[in-house]
């Protein structure tokens, strides 16, 4: 074996978003592949185990693989790499690494190889000792220069491949604002890609600018993986779980037949309303939470963003979906190109009319390979700032964030919160004791925040974690 002891690292440092309920699924795929190619693999999530030196010093590590998916992980990854002894091979992959190859090589001189795009096949090639010049979709150092090999063609998902969760050193728990909701949580990937072409979406393209065709695992493969998952709450991370509706039904049938009792959250498009019998079967199988991108309350925006539906169809679709007990979480974008403040503020009443349970409000973002960039370039006054947030002279980021806050405050009134709690209990998404605990903690925090604003002092025996608002 070329490498004996591999360390797979999810980088983190204080100040970064923690999201401790999210297992590093992509890195777990890499670690699982390496099991057949090295003598020992250790998976380290630095959100829970911040002292990486302890692992490097205890064992003769000769390969370190880091996953850098998001821009906020950049500095953490660079700091970690600077502390790794030079004789250890360092391989970096992930979405952000793919789009920032040159920058990372300059900022982190100890990086040996950057994997561009999907990493499972590539890391197997690297660990097997194949000459680097013959491995597609990598960039690497050679005699003081950076070599960029040609792009590797995208492959269909592997039906036989899923992460070995036995490599985990921590338990992942469902939480909200550091409140433990009483359930283990896990992620599963059953497909990659999306057949649609929403203009703002960067996830249908991989970071190399290639269009990823939708490719799904078989129902049997998905359910076999589910049997290895202990957690009661499972996020399906697919861009579009229901791209193949026949496959959805097959998965549901197998889950029911195998007696698997879990709660799932899945991302779908609103066109799923056309299949009421499938919706009922999804609920029975535990696929009780649907996350659906609506994005805007304005038809002009939906058309310009190439969503494929208008507000009338959205109203029709959700009227059908709401006939079930399914919990609906809707995604909206604040700051779509061409929208005025009044357009944006229509999101809350529109979401109320659709009778969504909860909503997510994000600012419009772009990336290096996003199809949105051309639209920005041809829209006078619009630009992407240093954080890749799309804004304009009239609507800078500060104003957009203020509008987002107003929309959220308008939507989440007391009747809506009461309805959400009722729905959570009715659908049995989390146990009643934890619903009560969450409500108590949030109420306490709100009251505490109100006391601070009015100049009152908190009592000395209030735990510090409760003082953070």
Per-residue pLDDT of 307-330, as tens digits, reads 999 999 999 999 999 999 999 999
With cut-offs at 50, 70 and 90, classify the pLDDT of residue 28. very high
Find residue 44's DSSP bridge partners. Answer: 9
CB-based burial label for 279 (10 Å; 0-12, 13-18, 19+): buried
With cut-offs at 50, 70 and 90, classify the pLDDT of residue 179. confident
Residue tagged 């985990």 (tokens): 168
Calpha distance 436→444 (Å, rounded): 12
Name the phi and psi angles at 374, rounded to 5.
-65, -40
CA distance to 3, 27, 92, per residue, from 174 (Å): 36, 20, 28
- The total of other beta-carbon atoms located within 10 Å of residue 282's CB is 27
Q: What is the CATH number of domain 172-430?
A: 3.80.30.20
With cut-offs at 50, 70 and 90, classify the pLDDT of residue 164. very high
CA distance to 68, 186, 395, per residue, from 234 (Å): 23, 5, 38
Examine the pLDDT at 306 and tell me if it is beyond 50: yes
Range of lowest pLDDT (318-327, 390-399, 401-410, 433-442): 433-442
Residue-wise pLDDT for 227-271, tens only, equals: 999 999 999 999 999 999 999 999 999 999 999 999 999 999 999
Mean pLDDT to the nearest integer, 32-40: 95
Which stretches within 83-128 are classed as H helix? 95-99, 101-107, 120-128
With cut-offs at 50, 70 and 90, classify the pLDDT of residue 213. confident
Residue-wise pLDDT for 350-395, tens only, equals: 999 999 999 999 999 998 888 889 899 999 999 999 989 999 999 9
Q: What is the model's pLDDT at position 446?
A: 42
Range of lowest pLDDT (175-184, 266-275, 442-451, 456-465): 456-465
Q: Which two tokens stand for residue 330?
A: 């809707």
* Greater pLDDT, 413 or 251: 251
Q: Which of 50-64, 171-185, 188-202, 313-327 shows the highest mean pLDDT?
A: 313-327
Find residue 139's DSSP bridge partners. Answer: 114, 148
Is residue 41 classed as helix, strand or coil in its secondary structure?
strand
Overall pTM surpassing 0.85 (yes/no): yes
User: Which stretch of DSSP H or E encloses residue 365?
Assistant: none
Q: Which two tokens stand for residue 290?
A: 């649907």
Examine the pLDDT at 429 and tell me if it is beyond 80: no
Q: What is the model's pLDDT at position 290?
A: 96
Closest CA to 396 of 363, 352, 367: 363
Range of lowest pLDDT (211-215, 407-411, 440-444): 440-444
CB 263 within 8 A of CB 212: no
With cut-offs at 50, 70 and 90, classify the pLDDT of residue 452. very low
Q: What is the model's pLDDT at position 438?
A: 55
Residue tagged 């994997």 (tokens): 115
What's the CATH number of domain 5-148, 3.40.50.300, 3.40.50.280, 3.40.50.620, 3.40.1400.10? 3.40.50.280
Closest CA to 347 of 337, 363, 333: 333
Calpha distance 79→73 (Å, rounded): 10
- The total of other beta-carbon atoms located within 10 Å of residue 242's CB is 22
CA distance to 195, 196, 374, 390, per residue, from 364 (Å): 21, 18, 14, 5
Residue-wise pLDDT for 131-157, tens only, equals: 999 999 999 999 989 999 999 988 888
The radius of gyration computed from the CA coordinates of the chain, to the nearest angstrom, equals 23
């Amino acid at each position: 074996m070329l490498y004996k002891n591999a360390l797979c690292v999810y980088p983190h440092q204080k100040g970064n978003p923690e999201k401790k309920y999210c297992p590093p699924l992509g890195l777990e795929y890499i670690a699982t592949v390496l099991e057949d190619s090295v003598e020992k693999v250790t998976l380290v999530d630095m959100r829970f185990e911040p002292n990486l030196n302890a692992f490097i010093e205890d064992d003769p590590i000769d390969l370190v693989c880091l996953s850098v998916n998001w821009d906020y992980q950049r500095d953490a990854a660079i700091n970690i790499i600077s502390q790794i002894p030079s004789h250890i091979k360092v391989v970096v992959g992930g979405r952000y690494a793919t789009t920032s190859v040159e920058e990372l090589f300059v900022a982190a001189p100890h990086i040996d190889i950057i994997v561009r795009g999907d990493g499972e096949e590539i890391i197997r090639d690297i660990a097997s000792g194949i000459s680097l010049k013959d491995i597609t979709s990598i960039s690497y150092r050679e005699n003081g220069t950076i070599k960029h090999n040609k792009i590797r063609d995208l492959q269909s998902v592997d039906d036989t491949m899923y992460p070995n969760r036995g490599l985990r050193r921590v338990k992942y728990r469902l939480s909200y604002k550091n409140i433990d909701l009483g359930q283990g949580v896990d992620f599963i990937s059953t497909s990659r890609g999306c057949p649609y072409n929403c203009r703002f979406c960067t996830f249908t393209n991989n970071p190399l600018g290639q269009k990823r065709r939708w490719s799904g695992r078989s129902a049997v493969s998905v359910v076999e993986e589910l049997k290895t998952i202990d957690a009661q709450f499972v996020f399906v991370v697919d861009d579009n779980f229901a791209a193949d509706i026949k496959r959805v039904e097959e998965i549901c049938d197998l889950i029911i037949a195998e007696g698997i009792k879990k709660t799932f959250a899945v991302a779908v498009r609103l066109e799923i309303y056309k299949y009421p019998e499938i919706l009922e079967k999804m609920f029975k199988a535990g696929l009780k939470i649907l996350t659906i991108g609506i994005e805007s309350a304005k038809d002009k925006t939906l058309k310009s963003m190439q969503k494929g539906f208008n507000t009338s169809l959205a109203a029709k679709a959700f009227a059908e979906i709401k006939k079930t007990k399914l919990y609906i979480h809707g995604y909206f974008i604040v700051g779509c190109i061409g929208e005025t403040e009044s357009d944006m503020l229509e999101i809350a009443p529109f979401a109320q009319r659709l009778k969504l349970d909860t909503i997510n409000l994000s600012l419009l973002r772009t990336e290096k390979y996003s199809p949105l960039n051309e639209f920005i370039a041809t829209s006078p006054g619009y630009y992407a700032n240093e954080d890749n947030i799309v804004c304009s002279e009239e609507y800078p980021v500060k104003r957009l964030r203020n509008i987002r806050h107003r929309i959220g405050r308008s939507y989440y009134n007391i009747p809506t919160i009461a309805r959400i709690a009722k729905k959570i209990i009715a659908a049995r998404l989390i146990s009643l004791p934890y619903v009560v605990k969450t409500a108590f903690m949030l109420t306490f925090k709100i009251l505490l925040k109100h006391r601070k604003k009015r100049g009152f002092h908190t009592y000395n025996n209030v735990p510090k974690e409760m003082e953070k608002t």
